[in-house]
Structure 1
């Protein structure tokens, strides 16, 4: 694995290998590279959870992060994303973590780079590191994906998370369902669309998506209460979920829009657990990429906790 830019082309073995490595880090502690490694986090689009969890993951691995702010960079002078990336490579970066608003931009960049590239989200394309942490969260709950019923509900058409998770879950043997209003369906995704009330009644995992109005060309206005009642997870719908079923959301969460605010931190919710898992999952991706390429050699596990909340 030279880069980590898509879940679509990963095999079941590769996904399970990364999930098991994530679990190994969680249980046994954190490896630490014994030679100096530099990483550049190139975020051309706003981010809180993804960017900060990458920073924490890198620091826990002993990796130095190179600062970058698009609004104060040579992009304002006309420099391309590619030349920006090559600049960081030239000055010593050994890893690029890239988020970009254009679909497939990160995949195309990776083809031209000699150092590993991680896709931290590309437009409405994919979000593979979010997918891995989501898979790990499900693994912690169910220990298997075979026959697991997962429904992804919300702004499917504009969601990179929906794509990465749908591809990955299908490869791992889960049954994937999609639910949204007709205007937000994406027929390029070969998965069945079902009514939200039917979906919550049969699913082991109910995953909500943020309504991404910034990607809607018509910039439509949204009636929050009406959307929640028709297409969101209300407390009434939550009562019809299977007893063991869990609630997930990649965040940021629009409380009272895609999910009732009271459910965000309910017993079923794994939303903040997902965020916690983001650090260790991204550590596993970085570690695996470097070990595959022979970049750096880790010391023995030092038993430090991976959680950033403890």
Structure 2
């Protein structure tokens, strides 16, 4: 693994699989009475969030602390950026405090990559979400959640090695909502196709890439791109899906005229009670959050299916273990076997 994590595409199938297998080890750590290991003792991780976040920030900070790293928290609203300081000067100030890694979240695509170019040797940059571009750790946690749902770990003591190779082969996954503006969608597509799944993108034409297939073919490997389909009809594919991945309906899209009213969106793309009855009996539902109940999914559907088929809580829980795996590989003894240095 390189010194930074900016997209999942740079990892490839092997890198993604290795991180998901390592995540298994850290899920087990999280189940201990004291869920902490000394793997990153003496290391310092900074969270540089120039955009609001709850889940991603807390997951990274919790992951770093469980690995015994020190954490520096940066909030743009209360920083010298409000006094006119440049982004580069802000980063270099934090870097001068002696950090080993920085998690960067920004509303503009490409900012984590630019900061990686400014970073000193030995400082790793992790993309915590940039604009419409990428959210690699979200893609990893979503892929891990689905893999372990469909291929659960047997009861008993943890195995010293992964019991099965990470795979979503044969699964058909739908991603529903604002595809073109979603960094989560892009990273999920990369993760799912790398693991062998077929992906169907489902959205109104105004929320699908205008160039259609060219958009997919332009950034996915050819073998992965072949496993992606695009449609504007949720109802046509609903019963064939193993996974319904819902994306947040952003109200600003309505203001900009990209979609109509909330009732119109729900009528065509919401997981209503009527649509829930047509789901495959074993189909599951994911959502990266924050969720708009009554829009992406009916409140009653969420409550009725939450215990067994809505995996939102599992996504959040696995997000901590996934980020522990990423941090361990980047700034820990990344060349070690998964069991080494954890206990």
Q: Is 2:84 the counterpart of 1:78?
A: yes
Match of 2:132 in 1: 124
- Aligned residue runs from structure 1 range 95-174, under 5 A: 95-114=101-120, 115-143=123-151, 144-174=167-197
**Bigger Cα displacement from structure 2, 34-43 vs 116-125:** 34-43
Residues 23/42 of structure 1: CA separation in 2 closer, same or farther (3 Å cut): same
Q: In structure 2, the residue corresponding to 1:65 is in which secondary structure?
A: strand
Q: Deviations over 1:128-155 (max 9, x none)?
A: 0111100110111123311211110001
**Bigger Cα displacement from structure 2, 123-132 vs 185-194:** 185-194
Match of 1:307 in 2: none
Residues 171/299 of structure 1: CA separation in 2 closer, same or farther (3 Å cut): closer
In the TM superposition, what is the alpha-carbon distance from 1:118 to its structure 2 partner? 0.7
Measure the CA separation in 2 of the matches of 1:56 and 1:291: 16
Match of 2:262 in 1: 224
In the TM superposition, what is the alpha-carbon distance from 1:169 to its structure 2 partner? 1.5
Measure the CA separation in 1 of the matches of 2:43 and 2:257: 43
> TM-score, normalized by length of structure 1?
0.90
Q: Deviations over 1:66-122 (max 9, x none)?
A: 131211111112222222112111111111001000012112221331310111100
Match of 1:27 in 2: 28
Q: In structure 1, the residue corresponding to 2:185 is in which secondary structure?
A: helix
**Structure 2: where are the runs of 5+ without partners?**
31-35, 152-166, 218-227
In the TM superposition, what is the alpha-carbon distance from 1:157 to its structure 2 partner? 1.3
User: Aligned residues, how many?
Assistant: 299
Alignment check: 8 A CA contact 2:147 2:168 kept: yes
Q: CA RMSD in A?
A: 2.1
In the TM superposition, what is the alpha-carbon distance from 1:36 to its structure 2 partner? 1.6
In the TM superposition, what is the alpha-carbon distance from 1:228 to its structure 2 partner? 1.3
Q: In structure 1, the residue corresponding to 2:325 is in which secondary structure?
A: helix
In the TM superposition, what is the alpha-carbon distance from 1:300 to its structure 2 partner? 4.1
In the TM superposition, what is the alpha-carbon distance from 1:276 to its structure 2 partner? 1.0
Q: Is 2:291 the counterpart of 1:264?
A: no
**Structure 1: where are the runs of 5+ without partners?**
303-310
